[in-house]
Amino acid sequence: MAVPSFLIVDDHPLFLEALQSAIEAGFPGARVDVTETIQGACKVLAGKKFNLVLLDLKVPDANGYDGLQQVRATAKKTPLAVISAMTGPEIVNKVKALGADGFITKSQPRKDILASVATILNGGNSFPSGTGDGGVSGEVQELIEKLRQLTPQQLKVLTRVCEAKLNKQIAYELGITETTIKAHITLIFKKLGMHSRTQAVLTMQRMKSELADTEFGGLFAAEG
């Protein structure tokens, strides 16, 4: 096969960046187009050919499985894999029935995602067996779902909280007021279901190894 081309349909910036980076590293020279909507995907697919479409089921203009059906109808012969935070045999079976060539969970380690992509590019199918929990514990999967609710700015704040930095330090580094930092932290704890800095730091550190190969491994990349 010549250098492969991919279309990623996803509206989560952090995951989108991580997936694009993984594909470019795993398939050097690959062309990667991205779009955040089903409408955008159908428009791109009408004018370009791709070796694989990677589609999130929950982009803004998708209604249940309608988005998958629209993309499948637009690109009937193009290999397509659903890549989603949602898991479970009923979802896997549904997307398979609607013509997907694979199902990849967002919490899978990078190497497993790339292996699934390679399988589909080579003409095969890639679906998880069992419940498809992505190789992480239920507790970590739950934390990942909560982390996806945070904004990019809130993730930056959380990273620095986990580095044991004071609000004053975080405010200086991010160029915003200390009051804004306090407001961010309140919202972060609410979204994560946590009640204190100590709980947040201990929880994140305890799950550090399992988070390392997910889109949130970068929370621990910076030091000092």
Judge whether residue 130 has pLDDT over 60: no
Q: What is the CATH number of domain 5-121?
A: 3.40.50.2300
Query: Which range has the worst mean pLDDT, 23-27, 99-103, 119-123, 220-224?
Result: 220-224
pLDDT the model gives residue 215: 64
Element (H, E) at 59: none
Mean pLDDT of 144-163: 88
pLDDT the model gives residue 30: 94
Phi, psi for residue 195 in degrees, rounded to 5: -125, -10
Architecture of the domain made up of 138-220: Orthogonal Bundle (1.10)
CA–CA–CA angle 118, 86, 51 (5° rounding) = 25
- In the predicted model, what is the mean pLDDT of the chain? 86
| Domain 5-121 identical in fold to domain 138-220 | no
Tokens 């187009």, located at residue: 33
In the chain, where the domains are located: 5-121, 138-220
Cα 53 off chain centre by: 15
Output DSSP code: residue 204.
H
Mean pLDDT of 190-217: 80
pLDDT the model gives residue 132: 42
Q: At what angle do helices 167-174 and 152-162 cross, to 10 degrees?
A: 140
- Cβ burial of 10 (10 Å; 0-12, 13-18, 19+) is buried
pLDDT the model gives residue 137: 59
Tokens 């999967």, located at residue: 141
3-state per-residue secondary structure call for 25-41? HHCCCCEEEEECCHHHH
Q: At what angle do helices 167-174 and 178-192 cross, to 10 degrees?
A: 110
Judge whether residue 37 has pLDDT over 50: yes
Beta bridge partners of 52: 6
Q: What would the two tokens of residue 105 be?
A: 């969970």
Contacts 24+ apart (CB under 8 A), 176-182: 181/157
Mean pLDDT of 143-162: 88
Tokens 């309608």, located at residue: 66
Number of helices (H), then strands (E), belonging to the chain: the values are 11, 5
